[in-house]
Amino acid sequence: MENLNKNKKIIIICHCLINTNSKVYNFGIVKEDFEQRKKDLINLFINNNVGIIQLPCPELTCYGCNRWGHVKEQFDTPHFRKTCKNLLETYVDQIEDYIKNDFSILGVIGINGSPSCGVDKTCSGKWYGELSSNENLSNMLSSLTVVNEAGVFIEELISIFEIKNIKIPILGLDSMNINEIFKLFESTI
Which positions touch ligand SF4 (CB under 6 A)? 14-16, 22-23, 57-60, 111, 114, 116-117
Instruction: Please name the residues in contact with 40: beta carbons below 8 A apart, sequence gap of 6 or more.
Output: 182
By beta-carbon proximity to ligand SF4, the closer residue of 83 and 114 is: 114
* Radius of gyration, CA atoms only, the chain: 18
Based on CB atoms, which residue is closest to ligand SF4, 105 or 119? 119
Quick one: three-class SS letters along 58-119?
A: HHHHHHCCCCCCCCHHHHCCHHHHHHHHHHHHHHHHHHHHHHHCCCEEEEEEEECCCCCCCC
How far apart CA 86 and CA 64 sit, in angstroms, is 17
DSSP 25: P
Shortest spacing between CB 1 and ligand SF4, in angstroms: 38
CB of residue 40 to ligand SF4, shortest distance in Å = 19
From the CB of 11, what's the least distance to ligand SF4, in Å? Answer: 15
Cβ closest to ligand SF4, residue 60 vs residue 95: 60
Q: In angstroms, what is the minimal distance from the CB of 45 to ligand SF4?
A: 17
Q: How many residues does the chain have?
A: 189
Closest to ligand SF4 by CB, 51 or 172: 172
